Structure 1
Amino acid sequence: MSDENITQSKSVLELITVAHEYCLFMEKIEAYSKADILNYFQKIIPLLYLKGSLIPTIEVTDDAYLERFVTQETWEIVFNELRNKLNAEDEYWVLEYADNSEAIKASIADNLTDVYQDLKDFLILYSKNTQTARENAVNECKNYFETHWGIRLVNAAKAIHLLLFKKQD
């Protein structure tokens, strides 16, 4: 399959659909209750992870089109809205196996806002609708999935699962 076809393959188009839904939800997070937010994430996170794992490998012909679009200000707005909704339940403990196996505090809002930033940047770059922009968008999305947002989804999914199914004392 040519790179042009790969950038418009079924797996890429399905990722675009799911990523778009995720980004829209994150941008309107203030409109939802904490219960609705947790239930949504419980369902979308595994789907996003699956779609991320199916991103094809692509050769980029010109990486000059590689751009980031989500500003620090936008990231902070989205992060603060989600953190405020989750309140004390935002933080959880995670083991970083690559380090010294000490548990560290992590944040659901931080992880999921990082995912939002990577996916929103992917969607905006892909929407430039040139072959080079699409190649860069798909390639970077795959790279970020492998090194950044994939593990953040996994960590957040575990924390959300524990919140949804914790035993009431």
Structure 2
Amino acid sequence: MSPTDTELHTLADTLGERCKRQGMSLVTAESCTGGWIAKAVTEVPGSSAWFECGMVAYSYEAKQALLGVRPETLIKCGAVSEETVLEMVAGALVHSGATLGVAVTGIAGPSGGTPDKPVGTVWIAWKRRGGYPRAECHHFDGDRESVRRQTVAKALDGLMNLLS
């Protein structure tokens, strides 16, 4: 089931409280969500105290230029892969002053899926500056908006787990 705007706002608000309490700042690196994670967190009043920046990198070229994803990773593994999302989150932290990062890349649909990577396949990675990244693959159901909403919720939830 797709989270509502209210549920996304609650997740972002809770994340903000945890970031402020722990003196953490956030950077987002987004592909399939097109900046929706950044939108969710900046809807929280006072988010400037804990949100550093968001980068939307849809194309291979943008992933390389903005986030430092290696061309060989994209050629060998594709944009929707564990290797790419791990390089995205690491690059977001390198290219920002943030202490906490999240990256997402996936196939929101309605087209673009393959037998190996069907529509709804999304990779999400989280990382604390100086820590080890963690990545998960999800297979979300529903239309494009539903896949994107579920991705935003899972990304925010994973950030809160990283801070707990």
Q: Same fold (TM over 0.5)?
A: no
Query: Which structure is richer in relative contact order (CA contacts within 8 A, separation 6 or more)?
Result: 1
**Normalising by structure 1, what TM-score?**
0.29
**Normalising by structure 2, what TM-score?**
0.30
Radius of gyration: which is bigger?
Answer: 1
Structure with bigger helix share is 1
